[in-house]
Amino acid sequence: MGKLMNAKEYEESLRKLKLNVYMFGRKVENPVDDPIIRPSMNAVAATYEFAHRPEYEDIMTAKSHITGKKINRFTHIHQSVDDLVKKSKMGRLLGSLTACCFQRCVGMDALNALSITTHAIDAKYNTEYYKRFLKYLEYVQENDLVCDGAMTDPKGDRSLAPSKQFDPDLFMHVVEERPDGIVVSGAKAHQTGAVNSHEIIVMPTITMREEDKDYAISFALPSDTEGITYIMGRQSCDTRKLEGMTFDRGNMHYGGHEALVVFDKVFVPWERVFMYKEYEFTTQLVENFAAYHRQSYACKVGVGDVLIGATQTIAEFNGTERASHVKDKIIEMNHLNETLFCGCIACAAEGHREPSGTYLVDVLLANVHKQNITRFPYEIARLAQDIAGGLVVTCPSAADLASPEVGKWVEKYLKTKPDVPTEHRLRILRLIENITMGTAAVGYLTESMHGAGSPQAQRIMIARLVNMKQKQKMARFLCGIDSSGA
């Protein structure tokens, strides 16, 4: 194809897929038009549509280092610090425009991590993984595809290595080797935007040892490959989407989804394999992907922008915007949100070039940024609920407001000011509910906690990467214990 898709073309490309999707115990014959899945598809479609907007072009598009063509930044391999910074700005932009998870970051981060690791494996073993990867990358860029990055295995008993599990399928592994490829079984959990993706890129979930080498695999497949099944995860308030376009949905345009993706003896041709039992490179792949993806939580800053805007609005509707404690709480929300932005910009600005030519973020700062993400959005959400008041969870439904019998009472008793329609007040309350405890809370809060690794994973990396010896050396010199300084 060789051109940037627009939103409509993206939607039509999904209709051509033959995905095996289950939700609520039933097969979903048409995921694109399913009312529960559709808002998440709309969010991905926005990443295509905004790439055509002149005001967003510099942030949303890039120049391919392979073909020289203009491509969507979500398919780009970072070629400079400026690329890394623009990635952070793109995350905030799209978060603010959709107020949800727009689902393409994981695939982008997988591509960039693989560009580094495949090059490194080839340098040691004289393999052809990097050549395969570049061919695959060109295919993704030319067709402007959505890639689902699949790293998280179910893991079973966390105290046991992959090869020691009672069920070997609890970690993705090779079950058969053929002349033309491999056969794999296993599953990937918490897969963001999986059924909105054209491709699925599989990576190992943890560092592997030699005894786990059958689990040290990475590959990519079309998302509708035979043997792949998608089981949709539930979200709070998800069935409100079945009620039609009522304001009870909170976000009237966009949403997100997660899925458990099962691989039941799935064939992978060799040209789609990017790691095969090179277990000593799993650490690099996992840690670099994690660093990129921890940077990607710039999106939460954008969602925070929307939540802060909604909180200011409900304060004005309620007549509390001049109260000193309300003003101070909103200042605190902005302080926390902008502090998060500082983190994702800092790890990008301190990025460096890897031997493959790919630019990697500063891994320490990326982990610090994500550690803050596990905390600050929860406080921002708490303050939003504080200012919004109890009605955020007790207001009647849109159907009650429209009811001939009780609508007049909802209208009368939930009104605050003559110039503020009751419906407007209920709409903004539903948006706050959606972001802080409804379907969007998956993308704003739970993802903030567990996405790209749970909080302890970042703390381990921070402890490993901080140069404690240098800090001690400077302290000892300045207080006169040691005579050697910097």
pLDDT digits (tens, 9 = 90+) for 324-359: 999 999 999 999 999 999 999 999 999 999 999 999
Q: What is the mean pLDDT of residues 420-446?
A: 93
Task: Classify the phi-psi angles of 216: left when phi > 0, otherwise alpha if psi is within -120 to 50, otherwise beta.
Answer: beta
pLDDT of residue 372 exceeding 50: yes
The pLDDT of residue 244 is 87
Measured distance CA(141)–CA(65) in Å, rounded: 11
The pLDDT of residue 2 is 59
> Do 67 and 3 touch, CB atoms closer than 8 A?
no
Compute φ and ψ for 27, nearest 5 degrees.
Answer: -70, 135
**Cβ atoms within 10 A of the Cβ of 472, count?**
12
Tokens of 480: 């006169």
pLDDT of residue 1 exceeding 60: no
Taking each helix axis as running N to C, give the angle between helix 455-465 and helix 282-295, from 0 to 180 degrees, rounded to the nearest 10.
Answer: 110
Instruction: Evaluate whether residue 287 is within a structural domain.
Output: no
Tell me how many degrees the CA angle 77-91-225 measures, rounded to the nearest 5: 60
Q: What is the mean pLDDT of residues 31-53?
A: 97
pLDDT in tens, 156-204: 999 999 999 999 999 999 999 999 999 999 999 999 999 999 999 999 9
Instruction: Evaluate whether residue 268 is within a structural domain.
Output: no
Measured distance CA(267)–CA(225) in Å, rounded: 9
> What is the rounded end-to-end Cα distance, in angstroms, of the chain?
56
pLDDT of residue 484 exceeding 90: no
Beta bridge partners of 182: 177, 268
Instruction: Evaluate whether residue 152 is within a structural domain.
Output: no
Instruction: Evaluate whether residue 118 is within a structural domain.
Output: no
The pLDDT of residue 486 is 64
CATH of the domain at 304: 1.20.140.10
The pLDDT of residue 460 is 95
Question: What are the DSSP E strand ranges found in 13-74?
Answer: 21-23, 26-27, 61-63, 70-72
Q: Are strands 21-23 and 228-232 parallel, antiparallel or unpaired?
A: parallel
Measured distance CA(126)–CA(94) in Å, rounded: 40
Measured distance CA(182)–CA(172) in Å, rounded: 12
The pLDDT of residue 438 is 86
The mean of the pLDDT values for the chain is 96
Q: What is the mean pLDDT of residues 303-316?
A: 98
Q: Which residues contact 75 (CB under 8 A, 6 or more apart)?
A: 108, 111, 137, 140, 141, 144, 145, 147
Q: Which residues contact 375 (CB under 8 A, 6 or more apart)?
A: none
* Burial of 424 (C-beta count, 10 Å sphere; 0-12/13-18/19+): middle
pLDDT of residue 274 exceeding 70: yes
Q: How many folded domains does the chain comprise?
A: 1
pTM strictly above 0.85:
yes
Compute φ and ψ for 197, nearest 5 degrees.
Answer: -110, 145
Instruction: Evaluate whether residue 100 is within a structural domain.
Output: no
Instruction: Evaluate whether residue 459 is within a structural domain.
Output: yes
Residue range(s) defining the domain that contains residue 415: 294-475
H helices within 268-417, ranges in order?
Answer: 282-295, 299-318, 324-349, 363-373, 376-388, 391-394, 398-402, 407-413
What are the residue numbers of the active site? 101, 105, 192, 258, 293, 297, 299, 447
Instruction: Evaluate whether residue 303 is within a structural domain.
Output: yes
